[in-house]
Amino acid sequence: MTSLSEVYRAYIACLNRRDWEHLGDYVAEDVQHNGRNFGLSGYRDMLVNDFEQIPDLEFRIGLLVCEPPFVAARLDFDCSPKSAFLGLAVNGRRISFPENVFYEFRNDKIMSVWSVIDKVTVEAQLAT
């Protein structure tokens, strides 16, 4: 038996490998993201686009809190979006920011995601 934390860490490794063939091992067909019905294909499109816009994107887990069927993670990003990010003209600058995100799992697959990215921190870095 694999713990839900281990499932989550395997999901993050899948993202970092850009292993889209296996995304469906971790994400449900009817996945929701911030209340929207993305579905697995829409979720994959979002991730493919993220890696296209941010070529050096890497998901790193800063904090992981697990109480099945929920996982909460604080993800630490350190990357260089090519153009705009969150509506901000980053244009290749290297920025560091966290994302605090909740997941609800069903049968070891993500069925809902509630994500908040720290835009205020990005704005502060661009202002320097």
Sheet holding 95-106, edge to edge: 36-37, 27-33, 109-117, 95-106, 70-79, 61-67
Tell me: does residue 9 bind a copy of itself (CB under 8 A): no
Q: Which is nearer to a copy of itself, 10 or 72 (CB)?
A: 72
* Other beta carbons within 10 Å of 57: 18
Residue that is written with structure tokens 């941010």 in the block: 54
Span from 13-21, 46-54, 77-85, 114-122 in contact with a copy of itself (CB under 8 A): 114-122
* Other beta carbons within 10 Å of 35: 8
* Other beta carbons within 10 Å of 117: 16
Tell me: does residue 101 bind a copy of itself (CB under 8 A): yes
Provide the CB-side half-sphere exposure for 67 (13 A, CA).
1
Tell me: does residue 120 bind a copy of itself (CB under 8 A): yes
The single residue among 99, 108, 111, 125 that binds a copy of itself, judged by CB under 8 A, is 99
Q: Which is nearer to a copy of itself, 100 or 125 (CB)?
A: 100
The single residue among 9, 74, 108, 125 that binds a copy of itself, judged by CB under 8 A, is 74
Chain residues that interact with a copy of itself, rule: CB under 8 A:
62-63, 65-67, 70-72, 74, 86-87, 98-102, 114-120, 123
